[in-house]
Structure 1
Amino acid sequence: YDALRQAAPGFNYVNGARITGPCRIKKSAAEVALIQHAMDITLEVQASAARIMREGITTTEVQQFLSDAHLKLGADSVPPFRIVLFGEPTAYPHGVPYPQVLQEGDMILIDVGATFDGYFSDITRSYVFGEPSQRQREIWDLEKKAQSAVFATAGVGVPAEQLDYAARLVIESAGLGPGYSVPGLPHRAGHGLGLDVHEPPYLVKGNKVELGEGMCFSNEPMICVYGEFGVRLEDHICITDDGPRWFTEPSWSIDNPFNLDG
């Protein structure tokens, strides 16, 4: 749209997003395969990033590693977003504008994605550098339960808002919230992705769009505890006629976030 306007400014253009958007909301098998390829690579990068963590490393250093690793593995370009947070800043969904230095006991949150043949990946992992505290374990486990509830609710014909509601029900049952209050879940539970990293369907209160085969979206009901830390586990789901399917296997536990045996 913008490129056409610049190339031929003498015409009157109308943005066709209202028409193309609904066409893109359900992915073809070929598109799902491209997204799967992108997700597989970003999960590999996430696991590699965990192995370079050391006391004193900066968020800036980790961001550079994420860029280099994605490019080495065939990304179209430098990842357009590389959120790396240590400690208390992990409580903020979109990060903070200053770098941090990793210390023992810090919660680590990394949210990164890139494009491969034009299609996005987007994965978030949260884990602790060192031994997790009881509080960190409790919030991490609650996040895991909320993410599992979203997956269990997903299916053909289910309104998108029901998935957001399922996550909040779990979180509120633990005494957090209610609604969008903090400590709790101040953000929507997920978003679609494909050629854009954020596109329909959105898992948010009031969105009554019914899920259908081929819809692909994130599952990330982040729990924020301002002044302490936050936990976000983000994996993506594809809706099939047989039910929801994960693009990437969710983290097993705070002690084994990358599902490594032994």
Structure 2
Amino acid sequence: MRTQTTEGYTHRMERAVAQAVDAGLTGLLVTPGPDLVYFTGHHPTAITERITLLALQAGREPAMIVPILERPDAEPAPGVAALSLADWADGTDPYTATAKLLDPAGRYAISDSAWALHVLALQEALPGTRYVSMTSTLPMLRAVKDADEVERLAAAGAAADAAFEDILGVRFAGRRERDIGADLARLLREHGHSQVDFTVVGSGPNGANPHHEMGDRVVEDGDMVILDFGGIKDGYGSDTTRPVHVGEPTEEERRVHEIVRAAQQAAFEAVRPGITCQDVDRVARRVITEAGYGDYFIHRTGHGIGLTTHEPPYLVEGETRPLVPGMCFSIEPGVYLPGRFGVRIEDIVTVTEDGGRRLNNTSRDLHIVS
């Protein structure tokens, strides 16, 4: 898998500045976390109270300031070649040094992960500046993926698929949810994930809680079990959900599964450039509502994914932003019957020039396990 080039990072910075200007901003301030990795490839080994900040703004060269003791780690980062690098030393005022990079009357979007300590100190150093949330003002900053990002997401999805295929061979009945979750985490790592973000194992009535924390409940014969799991592989996220059933399901369980499967399929088929995020949600919701289970579909249809497993765009009522090629997000409708069971089916999907492409490709049939 190729790595991002300096030219690629430069293009990302230029595109971000253009988006900031369109939003009426002076520029954007990027702090350690996924945004900084996206623009420079730099991931500080330790995120501490020492300020690191990348300033991208119209009419100025991109510039980043780092603690002097961390400069050796920053300089090898590919994107750093495309910007001016400054540093500050312990015992000096880092905010006076950082202020030199900024417009004294500027209005900036700042990373959501920025420490309040730093934002407040910058406001004190430059009283004429204003700061707004990156996500609220520039929500599509990382939403449109390039070809390399899509293929990294596809590789992460394939690894998660492989983990699911392997877990089907594990015994479920008579074991605790947390033990099955540990198996899933192990399998994700065996298939190349460097980080496991979550393993949801919701058995029987626990499956009716979409964010169930797996616990000591022993899985029983006759349980529907929701498996929702993902993490990070080569810097990009995976996230997939499949229900399995221990032994033969009831007619109602089969019916609810088929309704959710049909809703997920319909939403996928609706994906194309120009359709709005809320329209994809409406398609999935309509199938479930017309089947009589609308009150039991209690969350949005999907969320974006990339360097993090939850990021814009969100497939939810009220989000009128149109889809464009390169956007990547989950499609995961569900039905949750309190005290009984739940069903959710989730794939990561990317928008293509004429439709959508699934990045998860395991069967969406109801799998029977022992």
TM-score using structure 1 length: 0.89
Task: Pick closer, same or farther for the CA change 1:105–1:174 going to 2, 3 Å.
Answer: same
- In structure 2, C-alpha distance between the alignment counterparts of 1:125 and 1:97, rounded to whole Å: 16
Match of 1:151 among 268, 286, 303: 268
Paired amino acid for 2:308: D
Query: Is 1:56 aligned with 2:56?
Result: no
Aligned residues: 251
- In structure 1, C-alpha distance between the alignment counterparts of 2:368 and 2:203, rounded to whole Å: 18
Question: Which residue of 1 is the match for residue 361 of structure 2?
Answer: 249
Question: More displaced, 248-257 or 55-64?
Answer: 248-257
Paired amino acid for 2:359: F
1:184-223 alpha-carbon deviations (Å, 9 max, x no partner): 2100001110011111110100000100000001010111
CA deviation after TM superposition for structure 1 residue 76, in Å: 1.5
Paired amino acid for 2:142: R
Query: Is 1:15 aligned with 2:110?
Result: yes
Match of 1:160 among 252, 266, 277: 277
- In structure 2, C-alpha distance between the alignment counterparts of 1:54 and 1:148, rounded to whole Å: 28
CA deviation after TM superposition for structure 1 residue 250, in Å: 5.4
- In structure 2, C-alpha distance between the alignment counterparts of 1:256 and 1:52, rounded to whole Å: 12
Unaligned runs of 5+ in 2: 1-30, 33-43, 52-92, 100-108, 112-133
Question: Which residue of 2 is the match for residue 126 of structure 1?
Answer: 243
- In structure 1, C-alpha distance between the alignment counterparts of 2:232 and 2:327, rounded to whole Å: 18
CA deviation after TM superposition for structure 1 residue 242, in Å: 2.0
- In structure 2, C-alpha distance between the alignment counterparts of 1:97 and 1:128, rounded to whole Å: 17
Identity of aligned residues (%): 32
Question: More displaced, 211-220 or 46-55?
Answer: 46-55
User: Which 4+ residue blocks in structure 1 deviate beyond 6 angstroms?
Assistant: none
Question: Which residue of 2 is the match for residue 25 of structure 1?
Answer: 143
User: Which of the two has higher C-alpha Rg?
Assistant: 2
- In structure 1, C-alpha distance between the alignment counterparts of 2:217 and 2:177, rounded to whole Å: 6
Task: Pick closer, same or farther for the CA change 1:256–1:211 going to 2, 3 Å.
Answer: farther
RMSD: 2.1
Question: Which residue of 2 is the match for residue 205 of structure 1?
Answer: 317
Asked if the contact 2:202/2:214 (under 8 Å) is kept, the reply is no
Match of 2:289 among 148, 158, 172: 172
Question: Which residue of 2 is the match for residue 38 of structure 1?
Answer: 156
Question: More displaced, 19-28 or 167-176?
Answer: 19-28
Three-state SS of the structure 2 residue aligned to 1:113 is strand
Task: Pick closer, same or farther for the CA change 1:53–1:207 going to 2, 3 Å.
Answer: same
1:92-144 alpha-carbon deviations (Å, 9 max, x no partner): 11014632211111001111001012100001110211001101100000000
1:143-165 alpha-carbon deviations (Å, 9 max, x no partner): 00110111121110001000111
Three-state SS of the structure 1 residue aligned to 2:168 is helix
Asked if the contact 2:267/2:284 (under 8 Å) is kept, the reply is yes
Unaligned runs of 5+ in 1: 258-262
Task: Pick closer, same or farther for the CA change 1:67–1:252 going to 2, 3 Å.
Answer: closer
